[in-house]
A and B are shown apart, each in its own frame.
Chain A
């Protein structure tokens, strides 16, 4: 071999050595992670499903006591996605717009109390619901004003309502909730009456929970004017808009004219950081104060003692959390039979998903309601993981392996279906693998089918799927009508699996008219039981909300509804920004 070959060989060998070394290092690293994981699992078992520390210190009741602590400092909150607009009316259900504007810039007539989870007057002083549920009268506070000093009157409330109802305004999906309103009557500057077509228990939420827009600022002649007003929002809230550097950050400044209790933090900055790793690094370098970690990041960092010195690792249940499920399309030959759906639930090892894939930071659900809410029946036990029972059920339903190819069949149709998931979601891909594995053991062939999001939605709307996994967002109290009533099967409705059950339909309809909370929740208990028996979905799990927060913030309370940054403060000596 000549000299030139020697050098090439030398570098090749060196390169190979480096690769081997890197491989060994990564193996060591994964061993370490595994150890930590075990430690975490042990700890979690001793702690229960989530570390919730609700404190019963009531939120300052308006008008009541001030928030405690020193004024000043900023809160820098990392968002992974930038909102499209800061106009909560013309938005298409963007959660980030809501997080920035609602409660900070815009306020609503009523708000849910953070601890009691009940609607309470906010901009309103009081409200009255008539016995038949057809009339709601709201009296505004007389001391409330917008950030520019102009008082809020019923003119503004009616303007906001009319804007939502204006067919030219780009808010058709929001408008959808207001069609039940027959008439809005202004009695005087303080008093307004809403009259409804039909009694509906959500009416109070509908009129109480919209952001009141100042008429003197937003008035328009051409709806396009309103649609294009995406930035520089003006409302009545404790913060006012300061600036928006597109793609970088959005800054809110404290409203010094605020009519209620002023929060202590002087600015809230939303920084847009797309990369999750970069976000944690920014947090650790104290360039960001608050972020929502990925579940993996939470598992890893929450047991790191050094990290916990500087940052709170919060995991708590709140009603906004979604639940995840596998939906079985009942229009297919497989899933129209209840026994087959039940068999599928028996082969999905939900405990394993929670324990291993989600590292214990989740809880198995049995129905569509928020697990700590009043509609959820806590006595319903999830169906266990039981492949033997699944085999029996499939046999009973007539799915047997008649041609000996290892896959069950019936009337010449093999039990083989596509399991559609949104691509790029590691968790869904792992669930798909688990399902494929367990299904194969009972003679069912699952083909994982990852799809780009827009194609995924198109398939669901056109009913071109056999089984899908998705999540539905939650609320304190839900009306199951959209997802479960049989009228919603037709067209492109939300009952895309074609669930049809007469008892369920009757209960859903009756519950809509029932204004008494207890009676209604009893109906929902019955509905929950029907879903449990029918298994139109295999309900998977729900996850707590994760949060990392800099330790310099004080008075951080985990309420029943989550965190309220308005009550946080930073002691003078720890303040970072001016």
Chain B
């Protein structure tokens, strides 16, 4: 097992190197650059000066050097874990990410917990009541939810539940009210949770369908397996058979799904952040791409890449731990 993990970790290095090369190349090949973008069309000044200004800016950001040298410099900085400064914000990239990460994590963790607490029992129930009315009805409802576009639902929720037009139940934007700074901890927390209701709702409702289907499929496989019949034949009660035997076995794929979700947890959602005016990772990355903020793009891509690789590794390890039939010794 240890050899396997070490081997996988070593393999990550060239993979990560490949990821950074590709992202770096794509970001530089894409038309436009941060300097022209900040200067606007024509540079908004006398033509003679505009050329000088452009040159001065390119030098300031180190964009005047050939691309391979820029990449080498970037790698050198990365070795010291320095992602450089954001061109757009004039600040260290890592500082900006630190500000936004907790927000995205809070949102995604909440959504994640809700999706699992609803989907796991629901998946079990629909498998138990296979082909009965509840199974079919829940499946239709879940797929209807799954197919509702978040953009539309978000706008509708804001339009109808965040103002005097229909029900003024929730705040329409942001993560805290105007008074939040002056509140003691518990009212502050209440205020924060109140602001989180709609964004979390939008993050969760599409997730139920997928996970419920996964659990249902796993349960159905196991419920038809011989050992379940044996357990029933021993005279165990129905619920003991379902939860002690079938559920435990069918939860294996669900655990591994969880591990691969790690990078998605930090990624954030551009649409939901934009609709609810939440300063999270999604908007940061989106802005970085549209403003050609190279350092930020590289930082987000690299961190995303590392998390993805670790997520995959964790998934594989979790598999081995959860299912004793899987062993990596033969693979080494």
Q: Which residues of A come within 8 Å of B, CB atoms?
A: 4, 7-8, 11, 15, 74, 76, 82, 84-85, 90, 92-93, 167, 170, 172-173, 175-176, 179, 227-228, 230, 243, 246-249, 269, 271-275, 277-282, 284-285, 287, 452-458, 460-461, 470, 481-483, 487-496, 577
Contacts and interface: CB of A to CB of B under 8 A. Distances in A.
A491 B51 CA distance: 7
B88 A84 contact: yes
Nearest to A223: B60
Q: Could you say which interface size class chain B belongs to?
A: 35 or more
B326 to A, nearest CB: 37
Given A179-B49, A287-B178, A493-B43, A282 B91 contact: no
Contacts of B48: 487, 491
A85 B136 CA distance: 55
Interface string B37-54: 111111111111111111
Contacts of B163: 280-282, 284-285
Given A4-B136, A282-B172, A285-B163, A172 B57 contact: yes
B67 interface: no
A17 to B, nearest CB: 13
Most buried by A among B30, B41, B45: B41
Contact of A460 (B41, B51, B99, B283): B41
A487 B49 CA distance: 12
Contacts of B43: 173, 461, 492-494
Contact of B46 (A167, A170, A176): A176
Given A8-B136, A461-B36, A491-B50, A496 B57 contact: no
B124 interface: no
B136 A281 contact: no
B308 to A, nearest CB: 25
Contacts of B137: 7, 11
B279 A248 contact: yes
B245 interface: no
B177 interface: yes
Interface stretch (B5-13, B74-82, B269-277, B314-322): B269-277
B208 to A, nearest CB: 17
Contacts of A247: 99-100, 103, 278-279
19 contacts: A4-B131, A7-B133, A8-B136, A175-B53, A248-B174, A248-B279, A271-B178, A273-B174, A274-B273, A277-B155, A278-B276, A281-B163, A281-B172, A284-B164, A457-B41, A470-B41, A487-B47, A494-B45, A496-B42
B275 to A, nearest CB: 5
A272 B279 CA distance: 9
Interface of B: 30-33, 36-54, 56-57, 60, 85, 88-91, 96, 99-100, 103, 131, 133, 136-137, 140, 144, 155, 158-159, 162-165, 168, 171-179, 181, 273-279, 283, 290-292
A481 B91 contact: no
Contacts of B30: 454
A167 B172 contact: no
A454 B37 contact: yes
Nearest to A488: B47
A50 B198 CA distance: 38
B41 A275 contact: no
A498 to B, nearest CB: 12
Contacts of B174: 248-249, 271-273
